[in-house]
Amino acid sequence: MSATPTLYILYNADASVMGKLSYGYKKLTNKDKDKPTCAACDITHGGLSLDETPQWKAAKKDLVESGAVKDVKQFHRDELDQETKEFVQSQGLHFPMVLAQNEGSGLRSVMSSEELATFKGDPQTFVTKIREQLGGNQSIL
């Protein structure tokens, strides 16, 4: 890979107070454990917490410090810029998801909502797979 990408984690939730309440309700009433309300939220926040888990903070820091990615940015659906909204719509993607972008090039899909669900909220498994997807197999932590 010629350049280090920025990783974008896009949540299946809105950042507003109503968005958080709606997400909490959906999370609490979801009976299908194989299709979580927001698998990205589970990985980074452990589900219903408003704070990132220590495990995610360490994994994210390692991704950047090891040079696997330039940066990790996390956005709710209602925080996306126009370019990202248009990309998601044009590709028919479903929230949550992970995108990547190298400097000077367009966005690309790296991980789908279905793939995110397979990690069952485990940041280390997620990061291992991200490294594989981006072409780097360095170990984490």
Distance CA 7, CA 46 (A): 19
Residue of 131, 135, 116, 11 whose CA lies nearest to 63? 131
The pLDDT of residue 141 is 38
d(CA 122, CA 46): 9
DSSP strand pairing (6-10 vs 71-75): parallel
Query: Which of 24, 8, 4 lies closest to 16, judged by CA?
Result: 24
Tell me how far apart the alpha carbons of residues 41 and 96 are, in angstroms, rounded to a whole number. 8
- pLDDT in the model for residue 27: 67
Cα 51–chain centre separation? 15
For residue 103, the tally of other CB atoms under 10 A from its CB is: 9
Each residue's pLDDT, cut to its tens digit, for the chain (141 residues) gives: 457 899 999 998 887 777 777 767 776 777 776 676 788 988 998 877 788 999 999 999 999 999 999 999 999 999 999 999 999 999 999 999 999 999 889 999 999 999 999 999 899 999 999 999 887 544 333
Q: How many CB atoms lie within 10 A of CB 65?
A: 8
